A and B are shown apart, each in its own frame.
Chain A
């Protein structure tokens, strides 16, 4: 945490206490995002931990856990958290801009190309193949995440209810979450106590 930067060791989460300038952070997240074919999760760990040595693996996992718990794209939240660790508010702003700016511009360019060439049979066929693979990746992610759930029926009841409400009945998300979340949290609270 930046307010503790002058007193290393005070904050247990700031294990390394490394600092970086906003420009360095911006450029590093630019590198991560432009390497990130198929997603940026793999590259953010590699660059931040193994190449820059800005965080230890342990720090990275801690930041990931917080990022996953909060709403929004995990990589956005992770960029904000790590940017903040390294350079305060300016660091967060630099990280998120580096992460999003270039892919945004690429997406606009791709959008133009899609409008022009999207109907071409060749492009359509390539996209159909990529889509089939992309769905497999999402499904694999779901299964990998599901493996962290305990082997008891209660959590799986919530998995099934959320799946049925959204996937099969096509109800609005906010209603499903509002109906299930309080029970899920209350049960988890009771099991802990």
Chain B
């Protein structure tokens, strides 16, 4: 395992992931974990989970955990590299589509692509949940908090911010 960070390789890998991240960045999270933690050992699984949690706790798009991942790997250059890599392909592709879509509205192939990719996207989201759950929860108490959160979100309209605050308090109280 080579622990020295390689920022150009990091940039290119995240660029590739961003280009295929249909359904949002969480679908490529497992591959980020594989690349950063398992293949290169640049950060630990704990650092990875912390970055994800911090991004949830501060204002802004949740997927800016990639900024923190880049920061942990290689400081400011790493942070800029992962953030730009995350933004460039989606912004470019979206602009192209927006500018072309006026000419070709409602193509049936587009609908088949959407229908065909939806189950794969959802399978990837479950994989993300699974990998995060195993990375962050040490024992049954963590799983219990995760389960209670799940039930509250599915059953009520409570702002998730309250759950995040409650999670921090439960953690500080030493209950997970």
Contacts and interface: CB of A to CB of B under 8 A. Distances in A.
DSSP class of B's interface residues: helix, strand, loop or mixed? helix
A40 B23 CA distance: 16
Contacts of B17: 173
Given A33-B59, A70-B97, A130-B56, A139 B150 contact: yes
A145 B76 CA distance: 35
Interface string B64-99: 100110011000100100010011011101110111
Say whether chain A's binding surface is mostly helix, strand, loop, or mixed.
helix
Given A106-B60, A132-B136, A140-B149, A76 B91 contact: yes
B94 A77 contact: yes
Nearest to B171: A129
B63 A73 contact: yes
A85 to B, nearest CB: 8
A36 B114 contact: no
Contacts of B76: 108
A121 B62 CA distance: 24
B167 A167 contact: no
A146 to B, nearest CB: 5
A69 B57 contact: no
A131 B53 contact: yes
A66 to B, nearest CB: 7
B54 to A, nearest CB: 6
Nearest to A162: B123
A35 B154 CA distance: 23
B31 to A, nearest CB: 4
Nearest to B124: A162
A161 B120 CA distance: 8
B138 to A, nearest CB: 8
Interface string A58-101: 00000000111111111111001100100001001000100110
Contacts of A185: 112-113, 115-117
A118 B44 CA distance: 13
Contacts of A34: 59-60
A111 B73 CA distance: 11
7 contacts: A71-B18, A72-B18, A92-B91, A133-B167, A136-B147, A137-B153, A140-B153
Given A73-B61, A192-B108, 9 more contacts: A71-B21, A100-B60, A103-B61, A103-B67, A131-B167, A166-B123, A168-B127, A188-B115, A192-B115
Interface of A: 1, 3-4, 11-13, 33-40, 42, 66-77, 80-81, 84, 89, 92, 96, 99-100, 102-104, 106-108, 110-111, 114, 118, 122, 125-146, 148-149, 155-163, 165-168, 170, 172-174, 177, 180-181, 183-189, 191-192
Q: Which 5 A-B pairs have the closest CB atoms?
A: A72-B90, A129-B171, A103-B60, A136-B149, A162-B123
Interface of B: 16-28, 30-31, 34, 38, 49-50, 52-64, 67-68, 71-72, 76, 79, 83, 86-87, 89-91, 93-95, 97-99, 101-102, 105, 108-133, 136-138, 142-143, 145-150, 153-154, 159-161, 163-164, 166-176
